[in-house]
């Protein structure tokens, strides 16, 4: 899967309140209990741009927070001689806040993220030795956009198609690519 980007700037008013904070990122499955196997690993990189002032960055608390706890997911299957399994998941996040840098500069931050995932698996009823294939196409796509005073600070738009096909006798075909537009922040304001 591609690297995902987040802009934590909307949370600066909370993170600069003088208290300790823990930021937790989690991987959740499309299953009803959201459990995953132990083969997932997360790593991260935190980048902070400091204000020119020695005074602390503050701000108004988050003014808009729209985010479900988990992605919306659907799963379906059919058994009409072949077995077909389809899983789809999507999640939309929208967060807004106003940041006031130590220098007095005010920044309205709007962070949005729209992610989608789809996986379709087809298992033919006729065994592989007869020349039939198993197809497992999946696609992850989405956009992360963070604007500061209406200007793009971070934009990450991606499509990650993946196709795995098993053919007899035990051969496979793998096709993947990453189509991505990434605009990094050039004016991101962080906390002192």
Summarize pLDDT for 72-127 with one digit per residue, the tens: 887 777 766 777 888 888 989 999 999 999 999 999 999 999 999 888 887 777 65
Summarize pLDDT for 1-15 with one digit per residue, the tens: 567 778 888 998 888
Q: Please give the Cα distance from 95 to 185 (Å, whole number).
A: 17
Question: Distance (Å, rounded) from C-alpha 88 to C-alpha 120?
Answer: 9
Hey, where are the domains in the chain?
Answer: 9-183
């Amino acid at each position: 899967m591609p690297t995902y980007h987040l802009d934590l700037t909307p949370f600066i008013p909370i993170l600069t309140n003088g208290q300790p904070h823990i930021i937790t990122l989690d991987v959740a499955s499309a299953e009803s209990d959201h459990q995953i196997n132990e083969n997932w690993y997360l790593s991260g990189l935190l980048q902070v741009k400091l204000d020119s002032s020695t005074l602390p960055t503050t701000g108004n608390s988050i003014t808009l927070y729209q985010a479900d706890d988990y992605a919306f997911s659907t799963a379906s299957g059919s058994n009409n001689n072949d077995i077909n399994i389809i899983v789809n998941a999507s999640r939309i996040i929208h967060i807004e806040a106003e940041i006031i840098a130590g220098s007095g500069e005010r920044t309205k931050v709007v962070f949005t993220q729209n992610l989608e995932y789809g996986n379709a698996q087809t298992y033919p009823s006729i065994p592989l030795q007869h020349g039939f294939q198993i197809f497992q196409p999946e696609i992850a796509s989405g956009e992360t956009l963070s604007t500061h005073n209406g200007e793009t600070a971070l934009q990450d738009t991606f499509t990650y198609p993946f196709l795995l096909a098993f053919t007899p006798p035990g051969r496979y075909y793998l096709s993947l690519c990453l189509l991505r537009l990434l605009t990094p922040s050039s004016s991101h304001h962080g906390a002192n």
